[in-house]
Structure 1
């Protein structure tokens, strides 16, 4: 075997965990500047991880898997995200390691290669401040990390499996494997994709296991918050392990996790405007919290809050399997401009499934004086609480596009492009101080129409307008 090059030795030291700080800096520089080198590095780490996984299998497990999968060994792709081993794949992986060894010299005697050191593609950066890491990276770079520590800012990375993670500081997270990320603190929005099924976020308060979804987790203080935006996840925690087993959390639902306690409903979730996901609460927002009088036993739906988000194209309702598509948004009335009075108001996204409730009370906790706006389906008879406490304005909006098969689309003529939009009148009420304001049920007494749930927006005032 020919003598290894300097770069080969850098990879060998990195994989064995013996690389020093200066050598790591040279390795990172080479990965940033050389695409071919990055590809070889990723290939090496994938194969090395696969061989490490195979080495950990007991003889009985090996025999069982070989018998089960020998006849169907059609794929030879080894990924860190899952181990679907057949005797044929093991032989190919071993041969691959030998071939790769011609390019990447590594002594296997006593090697301690860690599967937790993960190659990551940097998708985007936003004012990132690292802890003890070279921050001279840019979009498109590949980096290899075990621990991610941010004092501030945000970074989006993509794993080899296709899993996309938006990480926001302050953040302290560690990869336990390509399929397990432990978060001590910080916020992550995860878009798992088809190939990342089973990806797990680990916290001190419980584990969140992907079941094919997009979700967000925020760990701070003595609890972790979870919100699901698409699909569902499984929550494992000490609090529900003995009584009810793992909890399935669905699209449009959120829970709070605390060590040793049962998961509790997360009634309000701060959403980002650009891409549906968890956002930090905005101190400039007039809305502090949203709650209701629903029985919380087994009920986990959340109200979405988008700080200053009211404008053309903002989502109207919190998504859920039984609510409209997430592209049902607020729009200007046909032929009109979006009302300037509403622009940049905080948006509160209720549950469309509540449109026929007759005992619902929604409570808005406000930080100061504000104008509250309720968007009412024009076809619906206004409830008594709306007529008594709010004033009908001349403003108009619409929401859509709705599915043609939706019951509430009945009687609405599609526009020239085939879109179905529900028309709304806008009602308003001014409150002069911080406090809690209650909104009543969407359905008036005796009104059984299958019309749209009302919408909510709140805009700060100076209190003397």
Structure 2
């Protein structure tokens, strides 16, 4: 074989190979380490490959992405091996076979990415995978390019069986699949049923207790729970679970790959607090009588002298000793009140009024223990704006982590509606609730296990969470170490009033009912 690697790279990129030439190339780089090293060296020098990498399995919109300059050597190798796998498939299509050429030496897939735990387990970038079982270690993520064209990202612990260039069997674990148009028909079998791709991005998660979950990020899949049941279509941003011969809708989780196989956290003593949360707060997880306080922070704004907030020590429950308010705003003696369906929220008098200047807010640095790293936590607050139909205004409470805005909830600046924005997004999400001058109660539910954030507006105090309907859901969660309240208006002032900021570990703790 002529070792003109630059020429081979160009021909691989353009799929300008006969089947015989492709087989010759694969045999050469697979069996001879010297040839493989020479090919990879030439590949790394071919910088244009970075602009022609395969689509990332999580990317939305335009499927071609420019890889980040992290671990350039590994990224270059991964791109080259993935490109080789796709070229093999395309060559097979061009030569008349829908499933690609017969794999050389049983080679059905290639590892395109492997982190340190995977490498320690003997899984290497560039390693060919033949038919048979594959185990991914706990805490690891591995990328796989199938010979049929699909790209997989597997999160450990996982056990799977590679059955063909376009078929796997998932015994346990989570797999994210991206199957472009030419890879239609990629199939994931599990003990609970079968999932067939029709050109999409989806995550499959299988566990003995929860069954098989399918979360479709975009596109379309067909799924069935057993050979005796018909296939059913599942579209983007929907999810279903296969179990016991049935396919039923379930909660869609865009980041299901990162969510534990069983997202129900263990609660050994049955006191309603997961063991991990109890351990986080230093209480015993095996004794029901030992449990953390549900109300973690409460700022009622009562007891402050009327006037500026800057440098005033915070009186809020759960504030670290000596912590003071920063920024600008004014404490007021009169507080806000809120009631719904004859149920009144407990309030204590006092409030804070923003300056109404764009970019100026009142800030309090909070205890990082306020929000546990797993499980569910809540935040609530009251807000009242000064007038209706004020053009170009905004007002809200913001959660920050360092200097980064993580979540804004309140009156949007881009629409005459209450709404929110997550992580400095360009998009502001309106709820269809026009601006008014009434007090409103906002509740934020942050689920750090399922990685979702739900926002509720004007729920009924004293009613269970199950009776409230979320206004908006984000498929992500904010990080929080400070709370800011502020408002503003283009070409003028728009001072708003905030009251009763609470965080807690239960719905009831942040929505106390007045006696």
TM-score range, shorter chain: 0.3 to 0.5
Q: With structure 2 as the length reference, what TM-score do the two structures score?
A: 0.41
Q: With structure 1 as the length reference, what TM-score do the two structures score?
A: 0.45
